[in-house]
Amino acid sequence: MNGELAIRLGVFAGVFVTLVLLELVLPRRAAALPREKRWPGTAAIFIIGAVLGRLVLPIGLAGVATFADGQGIGLFNLVDLPVWLVGVAAFLLMDLAVWAQHVLMHRVPFLWRMHRVHHADPHIDVTTALRFHPAEILVSLFWKAAFVLAFGIPAWAAFLFEVALNAFAQFNHANIKLPLKADRVLRLLIVTPDMHRVHHSTDYTESNRNFGFCLSVWDHLFRRYKAQPDAGHEDMLIGQEKWRAPEDQSLIALMRQPLEQPD
């Protein structure tokens, strides 16, 4: 468990620091609010969500996977497949599960109220990847645990996917300007910052596109893909029409926002 935590924290910190530095050197957009107005509330709600997740499911997804293996539960515990094939299939299934959950978060009203906290960020940078209401953290945790049980995802595969998902989420929320050619090539396989930024538009027709966090294939496959925002990346309006002021970014404001109605 200590080794698992060290890897998680090490990858998280390494990716976070790298992307923050790149945002300073290669920013894509000017920030709508300064960091000191946005980051403290985001950091606080992230810590609360992380602690709550550990308290509710202390064994984590890897622990759920170990339980499924011991009980012979799930598809991969019933069939004999090469390790590499199990690893690839597990990653694809888990990524599809996260994509489907994301779509539901936008479609189901009470789920959207939780997820709206993430979308109400008036600027998108690496910290936006951490800005989720604790209630959504719990929904996501149990959703992924259900898929781990149903398919018998191995513990090592569940662990690697969670580490990768966290890193990808930070990357595709980062406010960095990639070379256009690199972006076009990368988004053939993975979700890039320019691709995901479209999803954070105030325009519903755009925020209802590009749901992926890791792989870009699902948005193409299910016809949810939009290449670029209509207003361009520099001029598009990000977030929600409401909750754009500095006072909307505090921990208390973020925690109570699901109870509020939009204007």
Mean pLDDT to the nearest integer, 128-150: 96
Mean pLDDT, rounded, of the chain: 95
Judged against a pLDDT cut of 70, whether residue 262 lies above it is answered with yes
Nearest to 166 by CA among 5, 16, 2: 16
Give the tens place of pLDDT for each residue, 13-55.
Answer: 999 999 999 999 999 999 989 999 999 999 999 999 999 998 9
Which residues touch 4 (CB under 8 Å, ≥6 apart)? 60, 62, 159
pLDDT at 2: 66
Say whether 205 sits in a helix, a strand or coil: helix
Q: How many CA atoms lie within 13 A of 166 on its CB side?
A: 19
pLDDT value at 6 more than 60? yes
Average pLDDT score over residue span 207-232: 96
What is the total residue count of the chain? 263
| Predicted confidence (pLDDT) per residue in 89-102, tens digit | 999 999 999 999 99
pLDDT range class, residue 1, cuts 50, 70, 90: low
The per-residue pLDDT for range 105-124, each reduced to its tens digit, is 999 999 999 999 999 999 99
Would you place residue 156 in the very low, low, confident or very high pLDDT band (cuts 50, 70, 90)?
A: very high
Burial of 76 per CB tally in 10 Å (0-12, 13-18, 19+): buried
Instruction: In whole angstroms, give the CA distance from residue 149 to residue 73.
Output: 6
Per the CB < 8 A criterion, the answer to whether 176 and 130 are in contact is no
Residue 211 and residue 2: Cα distance in Å, rounded? 33
Quick one: pLDDT at residue 263? Answer: 59
Per the DSSP assignment, residues forming a β-bridge with 190 are 215
DSSP-assigned states of every residue in 219-253: HHHTT---SS-TT-TTT--BS-SSS-SGGGGSHHH
Model confidence at 170: pLDDT above 60: yes
Looking at the predicted structure, is the pLDDT value of residue 77 above 70?
yes
Cα dihedral: 127, 130, 136, 138 (round 10): -170
Scored b (16 or more CB within 10 A) or e, 233-250 reads eeebebbbeebbeeebbb
